[in-house]
Amino acid sequence: MQQKLDRLKESPSQTAGPYVHIGCTPNFTGIHGIYDEDLGTRIINDKTKGERITIRGRVFDGTGTPLRDALIEIWHADANGIYPSPEDKRGEADPNFRGWGRSPGDMETGEFVFETIKPGVAPFKDGRPMAPHVTFWVVARGINIGLQTRMYFSDEKAANEADPILQRIEHKVRIPTLIAEKTGDGEYRFDIRLQGDGETIFFDI
Amino acid sequence: MADKDAHNGAFYQRDREWHPPAYAPIYKTSVKRSPNAALISLDNTISEITGPVFGHNMIGEYDNDLIQNYAKAGELPIGQRIIVHGRVLDEDRRPVPGALLEFWQANAGGRYRHKKETYLAPLDPNFGGCGRTITAEDGSYRLRTIKPGPYPWPNGVNDWRPAHIHFSVFGHGFAQRLITQMYFEGDPLIWICPIVKTIPSKEAIESLIAPIDMENTIPMDARAYKFDIVLRGRRSTMFENRMEGN
Ligand SMILES: [Fe+3]
């Protein structure tokens, strides 16, 4: 017999369950005194460079009902397209930019809100520019493995058309599910549909 | 650190047959919360290879001690005192240092501290039910808690969750993001739980069951369980496709 690859298997995912907020945003659930502040609350501060934007949205199930027990996380580049991560070897990101945000959504409406800056352009693997985008990760009760998607901006039409990821999506009719609608000055709405009509594109990345 | 730098490429493709499928009717809530369309495969870009960094300095002294982090002065939560420890590794058995682990659980009676929780088991005034830690250079971590109780939940009319601790894990790249649950060796409820059963294979389920670890038990104080967590490994970039001469 040949040698063995001797690799481990990734730990299997399990649903975040109905009480994910106890672990990830305890202050939001009313558990105070353990952490000063819930992680992921602030992505930017007064000194962060870039155009201020607000992203709002809700997550809908296959019946059109908004989820009120989801946890939504986002990750995106700074105004120059650099990620605040040692894995990004292209340069130093804005020291006043966190890049990562987490929202439990509103307890009644399920609406999530992120106050951040519009990301710059980061390169695809072959060097072509990717349109400004925000990576989303959604977990909740009933979601067995976290769902990954991307949000693009409706006011970046030319960049979106040249985006190497959007270009390779076969069913063009689904691309609008990845594009946040500009609803006002610096205001964007990005609703996520888990299933059925207008189902958001999710990625296996 | 040549070795470290060599393995900074895309993460290995996730084995979707090893993980639970999105649609698993035995777990009823998944029926309307699972995408119908196939996921679109995307080799990692810089947006997925990167991820936020969490520094050890953000962790408070009692963040990994659920026995003390919510208890009133001079009081303790009720229940079996346990230590959970292990390592976070990648699929190539390399340790993952600096990984943020967040964990949450029910109290000894199986009750969560949450407004929407309706189980009649009482809250424990000295138990909050959440904690966090960051892995050391060798990928190791340790926490102290009370063994959670099993609890009933609305799915079938008589479904019970085995005792478990929820874990949220941040590795080095956003593509490694993972939430899972740890179960306890010997619990008969594991094998009849619909959420556990969403995992397709016995082998995969067993990889979430922590064995008792008597060598790390503190005599007359707390038993220990060992729970290793495996995150996606990553490709070497040493001979990645790039324009020749660049
Ligand atoms: Fe639970």
Q: Decide if pLDDT at B5 tops 60.
A: no
Nearest CA in chain A to B177: A146
Label residue B96 left, alpha or beta by phi (over 0 means left) and psi (-120 to 50 means alpha). Answer: beta
**Active-site residue, from B85, B94, B113, B166:** B166
Closest chain A residue to B205 measured between Cα atoms? A12
Total number of domains constituting chain B: 1
In a domain? residue A76: yes
Q: In angstroms, what separates the C-alpha of A36 from chain B's closest C-alpha? A: 10
- The three-class DSSP label of residue B217 is coil
For B166-204, how does the pLDDT look when each residue is reduced to its tens digit (9 = 90+)? 999 999 999 999 999 999 999 999 999 999 999 999 999
Centroid of ligand 1 to alpha carbon of B105 (angstroms): 6
* CB contact at 8 A, A148 and A110: no
In a domain, A102, yes or no: yes
Strands (E), A131-195: 133-139, 147-153, 179-184, 187-189, 192-193
Give dist(CA B46, CA B51) in Å, integer.
9
Q: Is B87 a catalytic residue?
A: no
Q: Do B69 and A34 touch (CB under 8 A)?
A: yes
| Contact at CB, A23 and B116, closer than 8 angstroms | no
Look up residue A78 and give its amino acid: D
CA-based nearest residue in chain B for residue A122: B46
Q: For A177, phi and psi rounded to 5 degrees?
A: -70, -15
Kindly state whether A8 is in contact with chain B, defined as any CB-CB distance less than 8 angstroms.
yes
Is B19 contained in some domain? no
pLDDT at position A189 is 98
What's the CATH number where B139 sits?
2.60.130.10
Per-residue model confidence (pLDDT) at position B242: 61
Give catalytic status of residue B172 as yes or no. Answer: no
The number of folded domains in chain A is 1
A15 touches chain B (CB under 8 A): yes
This prediction has a pTM of 0.96
Mean pLDDT of chain B, nearest integer: 94
| Structural domain range at position A119 | 15-193
Report helix, strand or coil for A152.
Answer: strand
Residue A30 lies in a domain: yes
Q: Does the residue B237 lie in any domain? A: no
Cα–Cα separations (whole angstroms), residue B6 to A87, A91, A126, B240: 12, 18, 19, 10
Within-domain flag for B68? yes
Q: Is residue B40 part of a domain?
A: no
CB contact under 8 A, A85 and B115: no
A149 within a domain of the structure (yes/no): yes
Residues near B231 by beta carbon (within 8 Å), at least 6 away in sequence? A10, A11, B88, B89, B90, B91, B96, B99, B169, B171, B176, B178
Asked if B131's CB is within 8 angstroms of A203's CB, the reply is no
- The pLDDT of residue B1: 39
In which region does residue A26 sit, left (phi positive, over 0), alpha (psi from -120 to 50) or beta (all else)?
alpha
Beta strand A147-153 with A179-184 is parallel
A144: domain CATH number? 2.60.130.10
Task: State the residue range of the domain holding B175.
Answer: 28-34+51-230
Residues 42-81 of A with CB under 8 A from B: 61-63, 67, 69, 73, 75-77
ipTM of the complex: 0.97
